[in-house]
Amino acid sequence: MEIKQRNRDVIAGSGYVAPTNANPLYEGFGVYDIGSTEAVHEFCSQVEASPSQSFLQETLVKYSEAVHELAMDIGRKLCQSMGLDMDLFKGWPCQFRINKYNFTPESVGSSGVQIHTDSGFLTILQDDDTVGGLEVLDEKSGAFVAVDPLPGSLLVNFGDTAKAWSNGRFCNVHHRVQCKEAAVRISIALFVLGPKEAAVEAPPELVDASTPPL
């Protein structure tokens, strides 16, 4: 526990999250801004990835660089597809989280993570290869739809900041994690948060008479 606690918050909730009474099955590690290779190295040294475990550090650096580049690329393509000439996510902090759910026989049927929307712009999620549980809300019918494990795939969803920026064109999807079986479930998320200093505002091209400001 002492070692896990070394993964301290940079912003609220960005470091180690221990199980709580409200959420006893969940714990997670995090890096505030994975766009910084130093932050990834610091994380590895905090959780004592020793030189004998250097493959861990290498893997994490490679993974974080690849998923960060993917996020930036998605930002550019989103803008292109909307006819906007901008590099949207450039310089935005990207938070990284490794989620662990210690599901038990007693917890089957209960909640691993309550229903929520992600607060940032975009989330890239690598879900557990075998243990399901992620469900997204179909806003029309009000029913939850299971997102079954699909090894080798990444799931991308928008959050609250994307809804604000796009003036309601992008939907911040509600989702939750349910315990379906007594097994450890791991997921890895990258959250493209939003501009560090400036406020989020819809570009003028996305505001007109038929889509007035939200």
Ligand X SMILES: O=C(O)CCC(=O)C(=O)O
**How far apart are CB 207 and ligand X at their closest, in Å?**
29
Taking residues 82 to 121 in sequence order and writing x for each that binds ligand X by CB under 6 A, - otherwise, the string is ---------------x-x-------------x----x---
Residues 185-204 that bind ligand X (CB under 6 A): 187, 189
Q: How many residues bind to Fe ion according to rule CB under 5 A? A: 1
Taking residues 108 to 147 in sequence order and writing x for each that binds Fe ion by CB under 5 A, - otherwise, the string is ----------x-----------------------------
Nearer to Fe ion, 33 or 118 (CB): 118
**How far apart are CB 168 and ligand X at their closest, in Å?**
21
DSSP track, the chain: -HHHHTS--SSTTSS-B---SSSTTEEEEEES-TT-HHHHHHHHHHTT--GGGHHHHHHHHHHHHHHHHHHHHHHHHHHHHTT--S-TTTT--EEEEEEEEE--GGGTTSEEEEEE--SSSEEEEE--SS---EEEE-TTT--EEE----TT--EEEE-HHHHHHTTTSS-B--EEEE--SSSEEEEEEEEE---SSSPP---GGG--SSS---
Question: Which residues are near ligand X by CB under 6 A?
Answer: 97, 99, 113, 118, 125, 127, 134, 175, 177, 187, 189
Question: Which residues are near Fe ion by CB under 5 A?
Answer: 118
